[in-house]
Amino acid sequence: MSIEQTREILSHEELSDADIVHLLGLTDPEECELLRKTAYDRTTELMGSFVYYRGLIEFSNICTASCRYCGIRRENHDVERYTMSKEEIVAAAKWAADQGYGSICLQSGERRDEKYIAFVESCLEAIHEATVSEKLPDGVGVTLSLGEQTIETYRRLAKASGNPSNLRYLARFETSNPELFKVLHGARGDHEKELQNRFRMLRDLREAGYQVGTGVMIGIPGQSLEDLCRDIRTFQQFDVDMIGMGPYLMSEGGELQEYGQMEPKALLQLALNMIAVTRLVLGPVNIAAATALQAIRDDGRELGVSYGANVVMPNLSPQQYREGYQLYDNKPCLDDEPTQCASCLENRLRPIGRSVGWNMSGSSRRWLRRNGRPDEAVPEGLRTKTLEGRRIIPIAAGKVA
């Protein structure tokens, strides 16, 4: 197709499956730029110009699962296992709240034992107590990414968070193709994955009151553009509130090295196209620019934002633990302090016309509207000179090279 035909597709009010497959497969720089600008403008129209921080705390790499692609899978005996103390976790969360982050993300390897659940519950209660302030009257918001649990556990943790209007759970299903899913999760054990269980998890999370997040890996060996189209339709089917997805990257700690991975430049463009098309199809949802994008190219996360993402996740984990939480090889920012990561990201977002939504929950507008809540108001003064001493400088969007 010519650029005129691509422009015509992008003018459609609704995209057909054929339209989606075409847009996902774009490689011509001029057509990719047209897709980027369309998705960027749609994001601004639907979501505003803010990017929201979710301060990432990777509090434990102990895992009972054997996902074949993952660097902290149970069978990887070369990784040094750790669990942060409750005091360390709460300190990281309070630091985030004090710095103006509207929310944090608690992520760990997958466990279901009572000792673990009670520990997370206790941490959530302490985080809420420590972060209630004039700026955050309900405390810092929380996203949980703890793998498959029971609906009773979801409800228990939701109650402990103390902040039901700013509570999220990320449960990626990785691919909607059952055969590819088996490749990723082919190992057998008590806690191994079934695709239908992942889908049930999304329904359970909605019932338990969470803003529901999911996502996929892009560029899995053997994955087709039609597979990615079905993934987007699955997001629609479950009416999800937020999406976290990134490129498939190999891990020496996994067992899929024989499959290889896509050439980096092509993989990056496919991942960016997926972000853009997902924005065009899903509309007012939160989409994260995955850190894995930066593993391919230094400005990968900024490119993700320019293609329609509106969430980034600066790493707040103490430095001594970061090397032990590498789900894929060459993970970036292992040596950065939290202050470096946040300020660096803010400076890199400004040239693409985005500002950080300090002290804002950044809740999914789809979720707000579904639950009869007004869109989050912009705090007075946020678009002006300062906010609690921070300069916020809206800049017109420009082309990203």
Q: What is the pLDDT of residues 273-292, one digit of tens each?
A: 999 999 999 999 999 999 89
Q: Residue 250: which of 24, 68, 63 has the closest Cα?
A: 68
Vertex 335: Cα angle to 334 and 338 (nearest 5): 90
Confidence class for position 317, pLDDT limits 50, 70, 90: confident
Q: Which CATH superfamily is domain 17-370 in?
A: Aldolase class I (3.20.20.70)
Q: How far apart, in whole angstroms, are the C-alpha atoms of residue 234 and residue 304? A: 21
* pLDDT confidence of residue 33: 97
Residue 380 has pLDDT above 60, yes or no: no
Residue 324 has pLDDT above 90, yes or no: no
Query: Tokens 């896509």 sit at which residue?
Result: 262
Residue 372 has pLDDT above 60, yes or no: yes
Residue 67 has pLDDT above 90, yes or no: no
Please compute the mean of the pLDDT values over residues 261-268 and round it to a whole number: 94
Q: Domains of the chain: which residue ranges?
A: 17-370
Task: Provide, rounded to the nearest whole percent, the portion of the chain with pLDDT above 90.
Answer: 69
* pLDDT confidence of residue 187: 58
Residue 176 has pLDDT above 80, yes or no: yes
Q: Residue 52: which of 302, 364, 393, 312 has the closest Cα?
A: 312
Q: Mind listing the pLDDT tens digit for each residue in 177-189?
A: 999 999 998 755 5
Least confident of 117-126, 142-151, 315-324, 361-370: 315-324
Task: Provide, rounded to the nearest whole percent, the portion of the chain with pLDDT above 70.
Answer: 86
Confidence class for position 382, pLDDT limits 50, 70, 90: very low
DSSP state of 183: H
Confidence class for position 392, pLDDT limits 50, 70, 90: very low
Spatial CB neighbours of 53, under 8 Å, sequence gap ≥ 6: 96, 101, 102, 103, 311, 312, 313, 314, 342, 345, 356, 357
Please compute the mean of the pLDDT values over residues 215-234 and round it to a whole number: 97
Q: How far apart, in whole angstroms, are the C-alpha atoms of residue 312 and residue 356? A: 10
pTM comes to 0.89
Judge whether 70 is annotated as a binding position: yes
Judge whether 63 is annotated as a binding position: yes
Q: What is the mean pLDDT of the chain?
A: 87
Residue 89 has pLDDT above 90, yes or no: yes
* pLDDT confidence of residue 373: 85
Higher per-residue pLDDT: 194 or 307: 307
* pLDDT confidence of residue 74: 87
Confidence class for position 391, pLDDT limits 50, 70, 90: very low
Report phi then psi at 56, rounded to 5: -85, 125
The CA-atom distances, in angstroms, between 93 and each of 39, 131, 168, 345 are 32, 8, 15, 19
List of E strands, 187-291:
211-214, 217-218, 242-247, 286-289
Least confident of 61-70, 112-121, 337-346, 347-356: 337-346
* pLDDT confidence of residue 245: 96
Decide: 85 and 124 in contact? Cβ < 8 Å: no
List of E strands, 24-127:
50-60, 103-108
Q: How far apart, in whole angstroms, are the C-alpha atoms of residue 8 and residue 13? A: 11
Decide: 64 and 112 in contact? Cβ < 8 Å: yes
Q: How far apart, in whole angstroms, are the C-alpha atoms of residue 346 and residue 343? A: 5
Q: Count CB-CB contacts under 10 A for residue 375.
A: 12
